[in-house]
Amino acid sequence: MKSVLVIRHVAFEGLGLLGDVLAEHDYQVTTMDAGDGHWEALDPNQPDLLVVLGGPIGAYEQALYPFLTAEYRCLEARLQAGRPTLGICLGAQLMAAALGARVYPARQKEIGWAPIRLTEAGRTSMLRHIDTDAPVLHWHGDTFDLPVGATLLASTDLCPNQAFSWGPTALGLQFHLEVLASDIEAWLIGHACEIAALRPATPVTTLRAETHRWAPGLAPQAANCFRHWLSGLDTHRP
Protein backbone atom coordinates (compact mmCIF):
# COMPACT_ATOMS: atom_id res chain seq x y z
CA MET A 1 0.00 0.00 0.00
CA LYS A 2 0.99 3.62 -0.49
CA SER A 3 1.41 5.84 2.54
CA VAL A 4 -0.27 9.18 3.24
CA LEU A 5 0.51 11.41 6.19
CA VAL A 6 -2.37 13.72 7.12
CA ILE A 7 -1.51 16.81 9.18
CA ARG A 8 -4.58 17.89 11.13
CA HIS A 9 -4.89 21.22 12.96
CA VAL A 10 -8.27 20.76 14.70
CA ALA A 11 -9.96 17.43 15.36
CA PHE A 12 -13.24 18.26 13.60
CA GLU A 13 -11.60 19.25 10.28
CA GLY A 14 -10.75 15.82 8.95
CA LEU A 15 -10.49 14.05 5.61
CA GLY A 16 -14.24 13.78 5.04
CA LEU A 17 -14.96 12.08 1.73
CA LEU A 18 -11.28 12.24 0.79
CA GLY A 19 -10.69 9.42 3.26
CA ASP A 20 -12.77 7.01 1.19
CA VAL A 21 -11.11 8.09 -2.05
CA LEU A 22 -7.65 7.54 -0.54
CA ALA A 23 -8.71 4.04 0.50
CA GLU A 24 -9.90 3.36 -3.08
CA HIS A 25 -6.41 4.26 -4.28
CA ASP A 26 -4.69 1.94 -1.77
CA TYR A 27 -3.36 4.60 0.60
CA GLN A 28 -2.78 3.76 4.23
CA VAL A 29 -3.54 6.85 6.30
CA THR A 30 -1.50 8.10 9.26
CA THR A 31 -2.76 11.25 11.00
CA MET A 32 -0.57 13.65 12.97
CA ASP A 33 -2.05 16.49 15.01
CA ALA A 34 0.06 19.54 14.19
CA GLY A 35 0.04 21.06 17.67
CA ASP A 36 1.48 18.01 19.41
CA GLY A 37 3.24 16.38 16.48
CA HIS A 38 6.76 14.99 16.73
CA TRP A 39 8.14 17.24 14.00
CA GLU A 40 11.78 16.54 14.83
CA ALA A 41 11.27 12.86 13.94
CA LEU A 42 9.38 13.52 10.71
CA ASP A 43 11.06 12.80 7.38
CA PRO A 44 9.13 15.10 5.01
CA ASN A 45 10.00 12.97 1.99
CA GLN A 46 8.97 9.63 3.47
CA PRO A 47 5.20 9.42 2.89
CA ASP A 48 4.05 8.89 -0.66
CA LEU A 49 1.54 11.70 -0.14
CA LEU A 50 1.27 14.55 2.37
CA VAL A 51 -2.16 16.10 3.04
CA VAL A 52 -2.30 19.29 5.14
CA LEU A 53 -5.80 20.14 6.38
CA GLY A 54 -7.47 23.34 7.51
CA GLY A 55 -7.72 25.18 10.79
CA PRO A 56 -8.64 28.53 12.34
CA ILE A 57 -5.14 29.94 12.87
CA GLY A 58 -3.14 32.12 10.49
CA ALA A 59 -0.28 30.72 8.45
CA TYR A 60 1.73 33.80 9.51
CA GLU A 61 1.25 33.29 13.26
CA GLN A 62 4.50 31.45 14.03
CA ALA A 63 5.11 33.62 17.09
CA LEU A 64 1.85 32.40 18.61
CA TYR A 65 2.04 28.83 17.29
CA PRO A 66 5.73 27.80 17.08
CA PHE A 67 4.96 24.43 15.47
CA LEU A 68 4.16 26.36 12.27
CA THR A 69 7.88 26.90 11.74
CA ALA A 70 8.45 23.15 11.65
CA GLU A 71 5.44 22.75 9.39
CA TYR A 72 6.86 25.32 6.97
CA ARG A 73 10.20 23.50 6.88
CA CYS A 74 8.45 20.22 6.18
CA LEU A 75 6.49 21.72 3.30
CA GLU A 76 9.50 23.56 1.86
CA ALA A 77 11.55 20.37 1.77
CA ARG A 78 8.73 18.33 0.33
CA LEU A 79 7.73 20.81 -2.37
CA GLN A 80 11.30 21.41 -3.48
CA ALA A 81 11.74 17.64 -3.78
CA GLY A 82 8.62 17.42 -5.96
CA ARG A 83 6.88 15.04 -3.58
CA PRO A 84 3.05 14.78 -3.85
CA THR A 85 1.39 17.33 -1.57
CA LEU A 86 -2.21 18.46 -1.09
CA GLY A 87 -3.16 21.48 1.03
CA ILE A 88 -6.73 22.39 1.97
CA CYS A 89 -7.61 25.87 3.32
CA LEU A 90 -4.89 26.57 5.92
CA GLY A 91 -2.93 23.80 4.23
CA ALA A 92 -3.05 25.65 0.91
CA GLN A 93 -2.01 28.89 2.63
CA LEU A 94 0.95 27.13 4.26
CA MET A 95 1.94 25.68 0.89
CA ALA A 96 1.79 29.14 -0.68
CA ALA A 97 3.98 30.54 2.09
CA ALA A 98 6.44 27.66 1.77
CA LEU A 99 6.71 28.56 -1.93
CA GLY A 100 7.57 32.16 -1.05
CA ALA A 101 4.16 33.82 -1.42
CA ARG A 102 2.58 36.24 1.05
CA VAL A 103 -0.35 35.07 3.23
CA TYR A 104 -2.49 37.77 4.85
CA PRO A 105 -6.01 38.59 6.11
CA ALA A 106 -8.58 38.99 3.33
CA ARG A 107 -10.72 42.10 3.18
CA GLN A 108 -13.68 40.01 4.33
CA LYS A 109 -14.13 36.51 5.71
CA GLU A 110 -15.54 34.07 3.17
CA ILE A 111 -17.71 31.58 5.04
CA GLY A 112 -20.57 29.73 3.41
CA TRP A 113 -21.52 28.13 0.11
CA ALA A 114 -20.71 29.87 -3.18
CA PRO A 115 -19.52 28.83 -6.67
CA ILE A 116 -15.95 29.16 -7.88
CA ARG A 117 -14.86 30.41 -11.31
CA LEU A 118 -12.45 28.10 -13.07
CA THR A 119 -9.59 29.54 -15.09
CA GLU A 120 -8.73 28.08 -18.48
CA ALA A 121 -6.20 25.84 -16.73
CA GLY A 122 -8.78 24.96 -14.08
CA ARG A 123 -11.23 23.76 -16.73
CA THR A 124 -8.76 21.08 -17.79
CA SER A 125 -7.65 20.23 -14.24
CA MET A 126 -9.15 17.92 -11.64
CA LEU A 127 -11.67 20.69 -10.87
CA ARG A 128 -13.39 20.14 -14.22
CA HIS A 129 -15.58 17.55 -12.49
CA ILE A 130 -17.40 20.31 -10.56
CA ASP A 131 -20.52 21.68 -12.24
CA THR A 132 -20.05 25.32 -13.26
CA ASP A 133 -22.80 26.61 -10.98
CA ALA A 134 -22.27 24.17 -8.09
CA PRO A 135 -21.49 25.99 -4.83
CA VAL A 136 -18.60 24.75 -2.68
CA LEU A 137 -17.96 25.38 1.00
CA HIS A 138 -15.69 28.32 1.85
CA TRP A 139 -14.41 28.85 5.40
CA HIS A 140 -11.47 31.22 5.57
CA GLY A 141 -10.52 34.71 6.67
CA ASP A 142 -7.07 34.76 5.06
CA THR A 143 -5.88 34.74 1.49
CA PHE A 144 -2.53 34.50 -0.29
CA ASP A 145 -0.66 35.71 -3.33
CA LEU A 146 -0.15 33.19 -6.10
CA PRO A 147 3.30 31.60 -5.70
CA VAL A 148 5.83 32.18 -8.47
CA GLY A 149 5.61 29.30 -10.91
CA ALA A 150 2.15 28.20 -9.73
CA THR A 151 -0.85 27.82 -12.03
CA LEU A 152 -4.10 29.46 -10.91
CA LEU A 153 -7.07 27.09 -11.20
CA ALA A 154 -10.01 28.90 -9.58
CA SER A 155 -11.16 32.26 -8.17
CA THR A 156 -14.02 34.05 -6.42
CA ASP A 157 -14.67 37.78 -6.14
CA LEU A 158 -13.63 37.84 -2.48
CA CYS A 159 -10.62 35.59 -2.97
CA PRO A 160 -8.98 35.65 -6.43
CA ASN A 161 -6.55 32.84 -5.57
CA GLN A 162 -8.79 29.92 -4.65
CA ALA A 163 -6.87 26.97 -6.05
CA PHE A 164 -3.46 26.42 -7.59
CA SER A 165 -1.19 23.69 -8.81
CA TRP A 166 2.58 23.79 -8.58
CA GLY A 167 4.07 21.33 -10.97
CA PRO A 168 2.34 17.99 -11.52
CA THR A 169 2.29 16.82 -7.89
CA ALA A 170 1.31 19.78 -5.65
CA LEU A 171 -2.22 21.14 -5.26
CA GLY A 172 -3.61 23.85 -2.99
CA LEU A 173 -7.36 24.30 -2.45
CA GLN A 174 -8.60 27.25 -0.41
CA PHE A 175 -12.15 25.83 -0.28
CA HIS A 176 -13.44 22.57 1.18
CA LEU A 177 -14.36 19.88 -1.33
CA GLU A 178 -13.89 17.21 1.32
CA VAL A 179 -16.72 18.19 3.68
CA LEU A 180 -19.73 15.88 4.00
CA ALA A 181 -23.14 17.03 5.20
CA SER A 182 -22.65 14.83 8.27
CA ASP A 183 -19.53 16.83 9.19
CA ILE A 184 -21.19 20.22 9.50
CA GLU A 185 -22.51 20.06 13.07
CA ALA A 186 -18.98 19.65 14.44
CA TRP A 187 -17.86 22.64 12.35
CA LEU A 188 -20.75 24.77 13.63
CA ILE A 189 -19.81 23.96 17.22
CA GLY A 190 -16.06 24.32 16.76
CA HIS A 191 -16.35 27.62 14.88
CA ALA A 192 -19.19 29.06 16.98
CA CYS A 193 -17.25 32.17 18.05
CA GLU A 194 -16.12 32.92 14.50
CA ILE A 195 -19.66 32.53 13.16
CA ALA A 196 -21.07 34.83 15.85
CA ALA A 197 -18.56 37.54 14.88
CA LEU A 198 -19.32 37.48 11.14
CA ARG A 199 -20.21 40.81 9.54
CA PRO A 200 -22.45 40.68 7.62
CA ALA A 201 -24.03 38.05 9.83
CA THR A 202 -24.46 34.50 8.58
CA PRO A 203 -26.65 32.50 11.01
CA VAL A 204 -25.76 29.00 12.09
CA THR A 205 -29.13 27.89 10.77
CA THR A 206 -28.27 29.22 7.30
CA LEU A 207 -24.89 27.45 7.21
CA ARG A 208 -26.54 24.21 8.32
CA ALA A 209 -29.38 24.45 5.81
CA GLU A 210 -27.08 25.34 2.91
CA THR A 211 -24.76 22.46 3.74
CA HIS A 212 -27.59 19.94 3.76
CA ARG A 213 -28.85 21.44 0.49
CA TRP A 214 -25.57 21.48 -1.43
CA ALA A 215 -23.15 18.95 0.09
CA PRO A 216 -24.91 15.73 -1.04
CA GLY A 217 -24.89 16.81 -4.70
CA LEU A 218 -21.33 18.08 -4.55
CA ALA A 219 -19.96 14.92 -2.91
CA PRO A 220 -19.78 12.70 -6.04
CA GLN A 221 -18.28 15.57 -8.05
CA ALA A 222 -15.70 16.25 -5.34
CA ALA A 223 -14.84 12.56 -5.10
CA ASN A 224 -14.21 12.51 -8.86
CA CYS A 225 -11.94 15.56 -8.49
CA PHE A 226 -9.82 13.77 -5.92
CA ARG A 227 -9.81 10.53 -7.93
CA HIS A 228 -8.62 12.47 -10.97
CA TRP A 229 -5.77 14.07 -9.04
CA LEU A 230 -4.66 10.88 -7.28
CA SER A 231 -4.67 8.97 -10.58
CA GLY A 232 -2.44 11.67 -12.03
CA LEU A 233 0.04 11.17 -9.20
CA ASP A 234 0.42 7.54 -10.19
CA THR A 235 1.66 8.60 -13.63
CA HIS A 236 4.38 10.75 -12.03
CA ARG A 237 5.45 8.22 -9.41
CA PRO A 238 9.10 7.19 -9.76
Query: CA 238, CA 229: separation in Å to the nearest integer?
Result: 16
Instruction: Note the pLDDT tens digit of each residue in 85-100.
Output: 999 999 999 999 999 9
Query: CA 83, CA 175: separation in Å to the nearest integer?
Result: 22
Please give the domain boundaries of the chain with CATH numbers for all domains.
Answer: 2-235 (3.40.50.880)
- Please tell me the number of Cα atoms within 13 Å of 85 on its side-chain side: 32
Determine the pLDDT at residue 15.
98
Instruction: Note the pLDDT tens digit of each residue in 176-212.
Output: 999 999 999 999 999 999 999 999 999 999 999 999 9
Instruction: Note the pLDDT tens digit of each residue in 102-147.
Output: 999 999 999 999 999 999 999 999 999 999 889 999 999 999 999 9
Average pLDDT over residues 46-59: 97
For residue 40, is pLDDT > 90? Answer: no
